[in-house]
Structure 1
Amino acid sequence: MASSSFHLFLFFVFASFSLSYEASLSKQKPQSLIFPIKKDNVTLQYSTSLDMGTPLNFWDGVIDLGGQSVWLNCDKYNTSTYRPIRCGSSKCKAAKGSGCSGCNAPRRPGCTNNTCGGSPYNPFENLLYGEGLIEDVMNVHSTDGKFYLQQSDVPHFIFSCADSPSMLKGLAKTTKGMVGFTRNHIALPMQIALAHKLPPKFALCIPSSTENGFGDIFIGGGPYFMPPYPNDMSKSLFTTPLLINPVSTAPIYTEGEPSDEYFIGVRSIKVDGKLVPLNASLLAIDKNGVGGTKLSTIAPYTILHTSIYKAVINDFVNKAAARKIKRVTSVKPFGACFSSKTIMASTRTGPAVPTIDLVLQSKSIYWRVYGANSMVKAGKDVLCLGFVDGGSNPRTSIVLGGHQLENNLIEFDLASSKLGFSSSLLLKNTSCSQSRIF
């Protein structure tokens, strides 16, 4: 009898401890919130997964660093917890809603009256629609940087429905919309950070492939752990100021509004340590918002102003020839291609080709592009320099594209207006393809 009572006592102690522990976990403020990044090998687009509504609707959206908001094709979006954002409401004003939208069909997500107007935009087809803004609950995952910890909710996540099938043109087949990451208050990072009272900070670790694991989006800051590298990556990031373009680059904006996109101050470019002769005025942003360097997840490869492109190609070809790397017929859209048989070695950071440095605020702060991020396989035994000609009159002189961002940890600190970057994680024998649980 005594033994039975003792075991019963232990059971209640254990049960009480378990409940207490689970309760403390549920009340614990998340250190950061995490979303996966997947790569589509056909379109070269990157997407993330969002869990929204009641019951949960799981959908993938294309990641757009220049996107103002989140939008979804709501044809199959079934939920009982959505609410339209009313015209003239404080939420509508905060979201910079435009006009009022209505609908004559039966009420459903994306079809409501007296609804704050949103502006979902498809950059691949340059399509802009006027659709209503709605809000619904979103389920998110929190992490300590190493492990998935728990789930929590964002009860009033704002997005818009884009019901026209044409809005999905150009998007990866597995996706149903787009996820914006600008400074805008209804872009994903700002909404999530505000809802959980986290620092206005997010980081991307974009994978070159998702065959062995997903990349990561961290909202709220580090630590960032990338196994098997044992240390917190946030401690070793290089930093450079995030610049404000004085003229908006959004598809629709009010005169006088600055851009919400992410620009950095590239001062010069080096190939194998040698300065490339450039027109330096192209590297600055002028009063009309023209010029400069921005980061993009929509452009698959870095896009350069024609004069910059020609100068970089010329110096790269010359440095490659000095290494006895044979040039071959170019493969569109690239302008310089080489025989991979003549590249004598493969290193931890990819093919042993000339490095390209984007020199930032000082000679000691530069973003180095190694072979894994500079070269693209374009055929049997053919590797091409993954930079493309953006023409002689582009809005932005340098657009750093997805291929150059892969396997780099990139942190956007909106409070201090700084960009942190790791350089290639391959140097540390790790990558952005992590086998996390989602």
Structure 2
Amino acid sequence: MARLPRPLIVAYGGAILLLLFLVSPCRAAAGGGDRPTAVVLPVSKDDATRQYVTTFRQRTPQVPVKAVLDLAGAMLWVDCEPGSYASSSYAGVPCGSKPCRYLKNAGCAVTCLDAPSSGCLNDTCAEFPKNTATSVSTAGNVITDVLSLPTTFRPAPGPFATAPAFVFTCGHTFLTEGLAAGATGMASLSRGRFALPTQLADTFGFSRNKFALCLPPASAAGVVVFGDAPYTFQPGGDHSKSLIYTPLLVNPVSTVPYGRKQKMTKYFIGNTTIQLNGRVSKEKPTDYFIGLTGMKVNGRVVSLNATLLAIDKKGVGGTKLSTVTPYTVLERSIHKAVIDAFARETATIPRAPAVEPFELCYDGSNLRTTRAGPAVPTIELMLQNTAAPWVVVGANSMVATKGSVLCLGVVDAGTEPQTSVVIGGHMMEDNLLEFDLEGSRLGFSSYLPSQLTSCNNFRLG
């Protein structure tokens, strides 16, 4: 759903561009003048929304900005409404500039009828920031401003490394509805050209475009690490050498905000005229897909329709990872197969009435608690080109609900979802995941507490 809250006249050009090399207006500055080898974002979990939030510094003078982490999305967006955004260092990205041309479906905000501000600039590149938690989008200026991230994590963050002209999109206050309390935007970790991983790698000159994600459970700390740092956890040392890798896949089907075949189209939304000149170029999705080939419960193969696990020519099917989806979502036949297999393997455990949105629930007072969470059968995700499966233990498969009831944390997606399997945040908690964009591969550790550590124990600096 798209909303345009102010009278903004936007013209869009659809030139087809190839992203063959990196271009960024950013130049790095660190506390000591040297480029950092790594920067980090602290991560915490919001209990009310089950979203994962981070904080960074932005603007002049610098202020802390709270944003929800998103593995999808084109780039960072923040609320730029008057009263929400104040800075002396922001600048609009000009129409026709190289960064604007690299945003394949960006347009040009040619006339804004409100008072000039960060969110209302003339002759400025425009994009469609989207709240991926609520599927609400709007139009907004693309601008640059100062952004700073810490170079150490524990015992305290700092010193900070600064990108003096970081590219992002201005959203509006209504776009933050549905986000964690205090969050004023969303920080994209996607493979997008102007998402955090690629911009930071280019800005700070990291030797490899990659990042590591360690999502925490509630009341604990997690981290996102960009750059060349070792993945050091206490105790146990560096976990970067023990990751198992599987290819990162790209859905081949284009997704654009306004798909059309005509050379020129006008849209009238309230007092706003959006003119799109030229056909919209085809752009691959920025989501992270992996090749799930099968599943096991308690070591026994679950019978699945293999066709659903592949991405077809229409972009339907496959498996992706999502930090804004709290629990793993499965196409109906896959959901039924997993539920039935898990029920067979736990037939001796007393059941409890179902608690929405879950179907299979148990009386938790009859389950032992182990280092790996509730003592239930493991779920193994069989992945392409891996020597070992991604093992999902009780802490990642079971969800505590009301009272002492524990439920298997998988949700029915219906019979015709766009994506057959969406691995949600709960299943990724306390797992170290490395997204190697340059090598197009995902590294995974499986559950860290089984290895006597956790995301909360990460150290850098």
TM-score (norm 1): 0.89
Where does residue 346 of structure 1 map in the other structure? 369
1:137-196 CA distance string (max 9 Å, x none):
111222499985632210110111112x32112111220111111111111111111101
Structure 2: distance between partners of 1:409 and 1:259: 24
Alpha carbons of 1:356 and 1:205: their partners in 2 closer, same or farther (altered >3 Å)? same
377, 381, 386: which one aligns with 2:409: 386
Distance 1:64 1:224 in 2: 21
SS at match of 1:341: helix
Which structure 2 residue ranges, 5 or more long, are not aligned?
A: 1-28, 260-279
> Does the 8 Å contact 1:33/1:142 carry over to 2?
yes
- Larger mean Cα displacement after TM superposition, 361-370 or 29-38: 361-370
Counterparts of 2:332 and 2:151, CA distance in 1: 44
Distance verdict in 2 for CA 1:50–1:24, change over 3 Å: closer
Is 2:145–2:166's contact at 8 Å kept on the other side of the alignment? yes
1:289-308 mapped onto 2 (5 Å cutoff): 289-308=315-334
Work out whether 1:92 is the aligned partner of 2:100: yes
Report which stretch shifted further, 426-435 or 416-425.
426-435
Counterpart mapping for 1:63-142 below 5 A:
63-75=69-81, 76-96=84-104, 98-101=106-109, 102-142=111-151
Distance change >3 Å, CA 169–CA 27, structure 1 → 2: closer
Partner Cα separation in structure 1 for residue 131 and residue 152 of structure 2: 31
> Do the aligned partners of 1:201 and 1:220 also contact (CA within 8 Å) in 2?
yes
User: Do structure 1's residue 207 and structure 2's residue 216 form an aligned pair?
Assistant: yes
2:367 maps to 1:367: no
What is the one-letter code of the residue matched to 2:75?
S
Q: Does 1:333 align with 2:357?
A: yes
Please list every run of 5 or more consecutive structure 1 residues that lacks an aligned counterpart in the other structure.
1-22
Which of 173, 196, 209 aligns to 2:204? It is: 196
**Which amino acid is the alignment partner of residue 228 of structure 1?**
P
The residue matched to 1:223 in structure 2 has which SS? coil
Q: Is the 8 A contact 1:204 1:218 kept in 2?
A: yes
- One of 446, 449, 457 as aligned partner of 1:423: 446
Query: Higher RCO, 1 or 2 (CA under 8 Å, sep at least 6)?
Result: 2
Could you say which structure has the higher strand fraction?
2
Mark the CA change 1:109 to 1:362 in structure 2 (over 3 Å): closer, same or farther: closer
**AA partner of residue 233 (structure 1):** H
Describe the SS at the equivalent of 1:26. Answer: coil
Structure 1 stretches of 4+ moved >3 Å: 143-149, 248-256, 434-438
8 A Cα contact 1:246 1:257, kept in partner: no
* Paired residues of 1:50 and 1:58 also in contact (CA < 8 A): yes
> Which aligned pairs between 1:401-412 and structure 2 lie closer than 5 A?
401-412=424-435
- Other-structure match for 1:414: 437
Match of 1:6 in 2: none
Name the % identity. Answer: 44
Larger radius of gyration: 1
- Measure, in 2, the Cα distance between the counterparts of 1:386 and 1:24: 43
The offset of 1:385, in angstroms, is 0.3
CA RMSD of aligned residues (A): 2.2
- Once residues 277 and 423 of structure 1 are traced to their aligned partners in structure 2, the CA distance between those partners, rounded to angstroms, is 23
361-370 vs 130-139, which moves further: 361-370
Separation of aligned partners in 2, 1:66 and 1:437: 26
Q: CA deviation at 1:248?
A: 3.5
Counterparts in 2 of 1:97 and 1:52: CA distance versus 1, 3 Å: farther
Distance 2:55 2:254 in 1: 28
TM-score, normalised relative to structure 2: 0.84
Q: Deviations over 1:274-294 (max 9, x none)?
A: 000110110111111111100
CA contact (8 A) 2:36 2:151 kept: yes
Q: 1:233 & 1:284 partners in 2: Cα distance?
A: 31
Paired with 2:294 and 2:308, the residues of 1 have a C-alpha distance of 10
Aligned length: 409
Task: Give the equivalent residue in structure 2 for 1:396.
Answer: 419
Q: Deviations over 1:171-230 (max 9, x none)?
A: 112201111111111111111111011121011110002x34x2101011430112222x
SS at match of 2:32: helix
Question: Quick one: structure 1 residues 206 and 279, their matched pair in 2 at CA, closer, same or farther if it must change by over 3 Å?
Answer: same
Give 1:244 shift.
1.4
Higher helix content, 1 or 2: 1
Q: Report whether the alignment pairs 1:159 with 2:130.
A: no
Does the CA-based 8 Å contact 1:306-1:390 persist in structure 2? yes
Q: Which amino acid counterpart does residue 116 of structure 2 have in structure 1?
A: R
The partner residue of 1:174 within 179, 182, 186 is 182
In structure 2, how many angstroms separate the alpha carbons of the residues matched to 1:299 and 1:99? 30
Shift of 1:338: 0.5
Deviations 1:221-240 (A, max 9, x none): 430112222x2110110110
How far does the alpha carbon of each residue in 1:36-89 deviate from its partner, in whole angstroms, 9 at most, with x for none?
111100000011112111100211111110111111112321110000011111
Given that residues 182 and 262 in structure 1 are in contact (C-alpha distance below 8 angstroms), is that contact kept between their aligned partners in structure 2?
Answer: yes
